[in-house]
């Protein structure tokens, strides 16, 4: 049975990916800060994880020593609606810590759990695309996701020799708590699209930036 770890698995897209992976026959380790009733109903292994806390990430790596992972989905993220006036540096730093450094720390901590044929997924956003930015604003979210994209490409290059492929994927504008319930895509449909892209991932395309609908996004 293949095994996956999903961060931010207690709600939204992470919960839906966990649910769909379980239905497809995967063993799933759900990592999150706070478990939920919906997550507990799936009867999967739940691990406490705060991706912004270095010690929390380190402890997760220790607890999972020797546990092989076929798939690591870095899904945990936050969105603050910050602007220029006033410039909220604390908010920007917080988003960098969670959205950019969090996935990199988790991946580094679990690198020994991955092997040839394993896949790493970074749930990013087209708001991290510089070419696609036509409206401005959202400094912390845009900058942190652009940084995550840069990290994803470096991971793809560094892990190529190990046979580990990396996918950067934008889920769409999804109706979740993070977006205040606004959006054009249901969480279940976003999760389905992401999992389809994972299944299609060709190692030769490692480091690519894709939309959950299959289209390629500009950097």
Catalytic annotation, pick one of 113, 141, 145, 198: 141
Long-range contacts of 134-140 (CB under 8 A, 24+ apart): 137/81, 137/82, 137/83, 137/84, 138/79, 138/81, 138/82, 138/83, 139/82, 139/83, 139/84, 139/87, 139/92, 140/80, 140/82, 140/88, 140/91, 140/92, 140/93, 140/94, 140/95, 140/96
| Cα 34 to Cα 59, 104, 181, distances in angstroms | 16, 21, 20
Cβ 6 vs Cβ 17: under 8 Å: yes
Q: Active site includes 138? A: no
Please classify residue 114 by burial: count the beta carbons closer than 10 Å to its beta carbon, then call 0-12 exposed, 13-18 middle and 19+ buried: buried
CA distance 35 to 181: 20
Query: Which residues are known to be catalytic?
Result: 141
């Amino acid at each position: 049975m293949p095994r996956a770890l999903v961060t931010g698995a207690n709600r939204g897209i992470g919960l839906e990916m966990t649910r769909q992976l379980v239905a497809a026959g995967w063993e799933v380790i759900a990592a999150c800060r706070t478990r939920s009733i919906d997550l507990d109903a799936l009867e999967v292994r739940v691990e406490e994880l705060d991706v912004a806390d270095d010690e929390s990430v380190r402890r997760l790596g220790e607890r999972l020593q020797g546990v092989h992972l076929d798939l690591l989905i870095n899904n945990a993220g936050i969105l603050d609606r910050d602007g220029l006036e006033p410039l909220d540096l604390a908010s920007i730093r917080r988003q960098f810590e969670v959205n950019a450094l969090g996935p990199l720390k988790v991946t580094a901590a679990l690198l020994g759990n991955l092997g040839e044929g394993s896949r790493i997924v970074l749930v990013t956003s087209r708001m991290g695309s510089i070419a696609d930015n036509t409206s401005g604003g959202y400094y912390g979210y845009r900058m942190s996701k652009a940084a995550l994209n840069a990290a994803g490409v470096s991971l793809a290059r560094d892990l190529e020799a190990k046979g580990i492929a990396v996918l950067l994927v934008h889920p769409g504008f999804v109706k979740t708590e993070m977006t205040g319930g606004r959006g054009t895509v249901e969480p279940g449909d976003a999760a389905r699209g992401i999992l389809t892209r994972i299944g299609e991932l060709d190692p030769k395309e490692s480091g690519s930036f894709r939309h959950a609908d299959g289209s390629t996004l500009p950097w």
